[in-house]
A and B are shown apart, each in its own frame.
Chain A
């Protein structure tokens, strides 16, 4: 079974440009999450999709970030216009069950991340 994949693995853009990150979750996983790790800091939650609907987008830093999940399959995260502080590693994760209180329920499987550098 294929894991979570992300594209591209690396992206270097100039301040003010636009970048779109893509995430393909594990097939059949309704839940898709985006996270970000800024250098020296912990991984932080950005948002959570259940199928094509945004369940929780409380972690999105500002309106320069737009996430979509058309058709409830893959997701894109667009940053427009990019700023220097947007540099970091963006992780995507998917899960079958959003309820994390059980031992296996809510197990999230992470992709390898996209390293974004804004210069």
Chain B
């Protein structure tokens, strides 16, 4: 069964600190892995997209890593800000090139950044 598991479920950190969120997946065939940020009451917004050949991708203070061998990914947030408070969702795209790709979502990690 295709699954995406994230840890921790929730996390509280102080403003300015770093944190790392984890994602393990069992999705096959694998097309790409995405990290989304979802603010309360809003839709998910893409942070990074990585194919199997990419092992790191940065977007500002967000850095995602991918180990396609162990099927693990992480999202590292540097120098956190209050606006980083949100749910971070790991999403794996299932499918072959040229076919319709279906997104498999994790349940997300709820991050709260406190002043």
By a beta-carbon cutoff of 8 Å, the part of chain A in contact with chain B is: 4, 33, 35, 41-45, 48, 55-56, 91, 93, 98-104, 106-113
Given contacts A101-B96, A111-B43, A113-B43, 12 further A-B contacts (CB under 8 A): A48-B100, A48-B102, A98-B101, A100-B95, A101-B51, A101-B101, A103-B32, A104-B49, A108-B46, A108-B103, A110-B44, A112-B43
Assess whether A103 is in contact with B43, with CB atoms less than 8 Å apart: no
Taking a contact as CB atoms under 8 Å apart, the answer to whether B49 and A107 are in contact is yes
Which among A33, A42, A110 has the highest number of chain B CB atoms within 10 Å? A42
**Nearest chain A residue, comparing its CB with the CB of B4:** A42
Chain B residue nearest to A111 (CB atoms) is: B43
The answer for the CA separation of A81 and B16 in the assembled complex, in Å, is 49
Report chain A residues within 8 Å CB of B4: 42
0/1 interface trace, chain B 85-115, chain A, CB 8 Å (1 if under)? 0000100010111111111111110000000
